């Protein structure tokens, strides 16, 4: 049956979804195999981690932890996204704003965040404000700098076309510059989101151990490695899902021609 339809079998094998599942399964298998050798007693198997993950979902400890972790994360990310895109676009459109604001974000992007955390604790304490700030410091520079670069590199021929057909500056920004910049702005938002997750966990590990950071720290201290790894896996899964959702929003709202391609 399959021999008579090699085309269909091949199409199934190279289908993006098949490849994604195979790739994911390969990583899980490699994990399981290396953990069974074992390479370290602190490295649990994939199956043990999944069992721990399930038990943490079942006893609500994971959901409780996420409720805490997501507060500074979502707050910081929303602030970074809106303020970051606005500042970046303004920098791209107006040269004085660019010269004024770019040093701040270039320094923020280059600075090692962990070194700044004592300073943040000193100024803002150990509460939600300090953690939100850490998330913002992580996420905002890449969002700002990408938005700025995207706006500054609007295609010259489209700008000329806009002028030839009588665009006002406002129309030029709304109808040419921003649509042309949106793929790179969204790339910045995706990178910023990933950085925000890093920032949120870092804040919980370095400021006060609560939420997912607490699950990681606590389970390590009691040597419950499957639960520690389960906490790490859970945050990775949420992070990936979040970025996928962002990509879906981008394609649905801003890139009609990408939908046409699919």
Partner 1 sequence: MTVDPKTAQARIAADAIVEVRDVSKTYPGDVHALDAISIGFERGRLTSLLGPSGCGKTTLLKIIAGLLPATSGEVVVDGRIVSGPGPERAFVFQDFALMPWASVLGNVTFGLEMRKVGKAEREEIARHYIAEVGLSGFEKKYPHELSGGMRQRVGLARALAVRADVLLMDEPFSAVDEQTRRKFQEDLLGLREKENKTFIFVTHSIEEAVYVSDSIVLLSPQPGRVAQVIAPDIQRGGDVDAIRRHPVYLDTVDAIWRGLKRYLD
Stretch that binds partner 1, among 24-32, 68-76, 98-106, 155-163 (CB under 8 A): 155-163
Q: Print the binding letters for residues 197-236 with partner 1: x by CB under 8 A, - otherwise.
A: ----------------------------------------
Percentages helix, strand, coil for the chain (3-state, rounded to 5) are 85, 0, 15
Contacts of 61 (CB under 8 A, 6+ apart): 215
Is 151 near partner 1 (CB under 8 A)? Answer: no
Closest CB 255 distance from partner 1, rounded Å: 6
Token pair in block for residue 74: 């979502």
Is 164 near partner 1 (CB under 8 A)? Answer: yes
The number of residues that bind partner 1 (CB under 8 A) is: 23
Closest CA to 142 of 207, 183, 192: 192
Is 14 near partner 1 (CB under 8 A)? Answer: no
Stretch that binds partner 1, among 57-65, 110-118, 122-130, 162-170 (CB under 8 A): 162-170
**CB nearer to partner 1: pick between 32 and 172:** 172
**CB nearer to partner 1: pick between 3 and 257:** 257
Binding test (CB under 8 A) with partner 1, winner from 36, 64, 163, 169: 163
Binding test (CB under 8 A) with partner 1, winner from 90, 158, 206, 233: 158
**CB nearer to partner 1: pick between 222 and 262:** 262
Binding test (CB under 8 A) with partner 1, winner from 179, 205, 206, 238: 179
Closest CB 160 distance from partner 1, rounded Å: 6
CA distance 227 to 234: 10
Closest CA to 135 of 58, 170, 83, 176: 83
Answer for the pair 207, 133: CB distance below 8 angstroms, yes or no: no
Closest CA to 146 of 196, 105, 103: 105
Answer for the pair 167, 117: CB distance below 8 angstroms, yes or no: no
Phi, psi of 38 (to 5 degrees): -95, 155
Is 254 near partner 1 (CB under 8 A)? Answer: yes
3-state secondary structure of 9: helix
**CB nearer to partner 1: pick between 100 and 248:** 248
């Amino acid at each position: 049956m399959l021999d008579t339809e090699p085309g269909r079998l091949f199409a199934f094998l190279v289908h993006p979804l098949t490849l994604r599942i195979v790739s994911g399964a390969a990583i899980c298998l490699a994990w399981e195999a290396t953990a069974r050798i074992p390479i370290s007693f602190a490295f649990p198997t994939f199956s043990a981690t999944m069992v721990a993950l399930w038990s943490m979902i079942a006893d609500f400890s994971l959901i409780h932890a996420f409720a805490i972790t997501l507060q500074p994360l979502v707050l910081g990310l929303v602030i970074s996204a809106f303020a970051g895109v606005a500042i970046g676009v303004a920098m791209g459109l107006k040269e004085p704003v660019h010269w004024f604001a770019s040093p701040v974000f270039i320094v923020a992007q280059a600075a090692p965040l962990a070194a700044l955390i004592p300073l943040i604790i000193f100024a803002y304490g150990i509460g939600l404000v300090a953690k939100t700030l850490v998330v913002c410091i992580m996420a905002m520079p890449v969002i700002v700098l990408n938005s700025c670069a995207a706006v500054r590199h609007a295609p010259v021929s489209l700008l000329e076309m806009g002028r030839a057909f009588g665009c006002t500056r406002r129309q030029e920004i709304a109808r040419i510059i921003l649509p042309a910049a949106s793929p790179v702005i969204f790339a910045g938002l995706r990178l910023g989101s990933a950085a925000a997750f890093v920032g949120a966990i870092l804040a919980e590990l370095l400021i006060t151990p609560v939420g997912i950071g607490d699950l990681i720290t606590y389970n390590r201290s009691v040597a419950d490695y499957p639960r520690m790894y389960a906490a790490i896996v859970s945050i990775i899964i949420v992070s990936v899902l979040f970025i996928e959702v962002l990509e879906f929003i981008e394609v649905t709202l801003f890139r009609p021609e990408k939908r046409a391609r699919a």
